[in-house]
Chains A and B, each alone.
Chain A
């Protein structure tokens, strides 16, 4: 088979019918454009929504749950060891929320190669005093530098500087909703009461906005030291350690390992946020389904146009066959026509898809729920471009295959006799 000659003939047939070719190519271009823009936009949105939770969720969280002891005395007693014991009204014992031996745990984490970083944290219930009202809230003592590095804390501090809670003593960053309830402006001092009944004045140095309103109505942040001081605890008192791993997929296994090693509870991100992955998966699935449907529709367009072209070119096919072109040659001529349309349309589609993504990326999108986002998010992953290119060739190949096979089966005698 003489590929150069076949390509040459295919090109001439294409150019002779350039209007039809253009229409078919525009069909492919349109579908690839939409495919790229849709997937880029959908995944940008997915990343944003996932990031909303996943970015600031530790891969493994070490803590002590308030829960009844697994080893109840009756089960330990040797007479009842072989029987099944029902115990009513089991209550949690006087176990502490503190992580035991926290400095040793931190040192071990520091040496672990798989760990990207960790941030100690203290969480405590407090009351904020607004006039005569007490508003329940949560104060988080955080290592602000590590929080910024690992969990993008800075992105969520909408007014003031996150780092100020380290710089200014007795300072606090309030959740946006909480600050509104307290009518607290930057620089104001708010009073809070600990569970133990002690009152503390703290200076407001920033607002925190996560995008989840209920969360913002109760949360507040101060440095670890400040919270230890409020609660009257020593410098090694920590209730949580948040661990970020180099490879997130190892979290469930490592959570088990740490739980055994440190004798505390360990929760991995997959267990904590399973529903977010499901949501992303379904959204991605829908966008692929729509994109591929568009491509298949474009494929039918090419199929139609090639079929028409074959009817028009019956004579040419007959004479090509009479002068020595085999059925296979004819089939390849039409396949190359189809794939040429797919290739040109596909390339244009990738370019237009990229341009459309750029345009979407410029459309303003402000919502109080997402303080860091100013325009619609778009994901520019080359994977979509690769899939788009591959699919444009595959669909046009199949769209061309049936008409091409028909052309290859044309009997020149029937055509020539018919005249």
Chain B
């Protein structure tokens, strides 16, 4: 199939503490370009664990993971960091903005790290992203002075700064009230439909999941 962004090949994962326990069993699926996929399941079924494996941050698993048709097995920490920087954008349940920086700088950081564009170009792009999300008026503010909903939108802008192949979200609306959750969902939807952005969102919110293109449901570490 063309344009396969992410492919999981029979991924299994164990937890060893306190006893050996199989969290994920033989998970295989693929995500294609432009898809808006949600991963759901009950709390503790391993959906977050799966996301961290897919995000390359967790390297302790069996099976194989391909991003952009390139295997992630046996890559060094620095190489994985580079792939995360270039190809993956993250939105977490908690916003994780750096309080020492302004909103604009927070968005720019991954772009500056990638070092493909000049600082001025990265700044221009960051402003574009903020505008797209309707929060350009916050650019000069310190990250700890804006509201929770705004923070999450800043986090989305940060995820998009390097034009990633895929944006991954771990309960991105979990900490937000209904209204802000709705705004964030609409942003994701818009990204998927208007900008052809691939999204993989972990959520336990079934309403949220139902409105995505595809649902991957996990139960006791297995695909349903």
B-binding residues in A (CB < 8 A): 2, 5, 9, 12-13, 15-16, 315-316, 318-329, 411-413, 416-417, 419
B77 touches A323 (CB 8 A): no
Q: Can you pick out 6 interface pairs between chain A and chain B where the beta carbons lie within 8 Å of each other?
A: A16-B99, A322-B57, A324-B114, A413-B57, A416-B92, A417-B48
Q: Which of A15, A318, A322 has the most CB of B within 10 A?
A: A322
Q: A316-B96, A319-B97, A323-B113 are in contact. List 10 more A-B contacts (CB 8 A).
A: A5-B109, A9-B109, A13-B100, A315-B94, A319-B90, A323-B85, A324-B81, A324-B82, A324-B86, A416-B96
A-binding residues in B (CB < 8 A): 48, 52, 55, 57-58, 77-78, 81-82, 84-86, 90, 92-94, 96-101, 109-110, 112-115, 158, 162, 170
Contacts of B85 in A (CB 8 A): 323-325
B90 touches A323 (CB 8 A): yes
A323 touches B52 (CB 8 A): no
B77 touches A327 (CB 8 A): yes
- With A12-B101, A319-B98 known as contacts, the answer to whether A5 contacts B113 (CB < 8 A) is yes
| Cα A328 to Cα B113 with chains together (Å) | 13
Contacts of B114 in A (CB 8 A): 324
- With A2-B115, A315-B96 known as contacts, the answer to whether A326 contacts B57 (CB < 8 A) is no
B109 touches A326 (CB 8 A): no
B52 touches A413 (CB 8 A): yes
A321 touches B81 (CB 8 A): yes
A106 shortest CB reach to chain B, Å:
76
Contacts of B93 in A (CB 8 A): 419
A15 (CB) vs chain B CBs: closest residue = B100
- With A319-B96, A416-B170, A417-B52 known as contacts, the answer to whether A324 contacts B57 (CB < 8 A) is no
Q: Which of A2, A315, A326, A328 has the most CB of B within 10 A?
A: A326
B170 touches A413 (CB 8 A): no
| Cα A329 to Cα B100 with chains together (Å) | 18
A334 shortest CB reach to chain B, Å:
14
Q: Give the interface SS of chain A, mostly helix, strand, loop or mixed.
A: helix
A384 shortest CB reach to chain B, Å:
37
A416 (CB) vs chain B CBs: closest residue = B92
| Cα A319 to Cα B81 with chains together (Å) | 11
Contacts of A416 in B (CB 8 A): 52, 92, 94, 96, 170
B153 shortest CB reach to chain A, Å:
16
Q: Which of B52, B100, B101 has the most CB of A within 10 A?
A: B100
Contacts of B98 in A (CB 8 A): 12, 316, 319-320
Contacts of A327 in B (CB 8 A): 77-78, 81
A323 touches B158 (CB 8 A): yes
A414 shortest CB reach to chain B, Å:
10
Q: Which 7 A-B pairs have the closest CB atoms?
A: A324-B85, A326-B81, A319-B96, A16-B100, A326-B78, A323-B110, A12-B100
B113 touches A325 (CB 8 A): yes
A315 (CB) vs chain B CBs: closest residue = B96
A321 touches B78 (CB 8 A): no
- With A326-B78, A326-B81, A417-B48 known as contacts, the answer to whether A318 contacts B96 (CB < 8 A) is yes
A328 touches B57 (CB 8 A): no
B89 (CB) vs chain A CBs: closest residue = A323
B84 touches A323 (CB 8 A): yes
| Cα A320 to Cα B96 with chains together (Å) | 9
Contacts of A413 in B (CB 8 A): 52, 57-58
Contacts of A16 in B (CB 8 A): 99-100
Contacts of A316 in B (CB 8 A): 96, 98-100
Contacts of A12 in B (CB 8 A): 98, 100-101
B94 (CB) vs chain A CBs: closest residue = A419
| Cα A321 to Cα B52 with chains together (Å) | 13
A2 touches B92 (CB 8 A): no
A412 touches B57 (CB 8 A): yes
B82 touches A322 (CB 8 A): no
Contacts of B90 in A (CB 8 A): 319, 322-323
Name B110's contact: one of A324, A328, A412 (CB within 8 Å).
A324
B99 (CB) vs chain A CBs: closest residue = A16
A321 touches B100 (CB 8 A): no
B122 shortest CB reach to chain A, Å:
10
| Cα A12 to Cα B94 with chains together (Å) | 22
B84 (CB) vs chain A CBs: closest residue = A324
B115 touches A322 (CB 8 A): no
B37 shortest CB reach to chain A, Å:
20
- With A323-B90, A326-B78 known as contacts, the answer to whether A2 contacts B112 (CB < 8 A) is yes
- With A2-B113, A5-B113 known as contacts, the answer to whether A326 contacts B82 (CB < 8 A) is yes
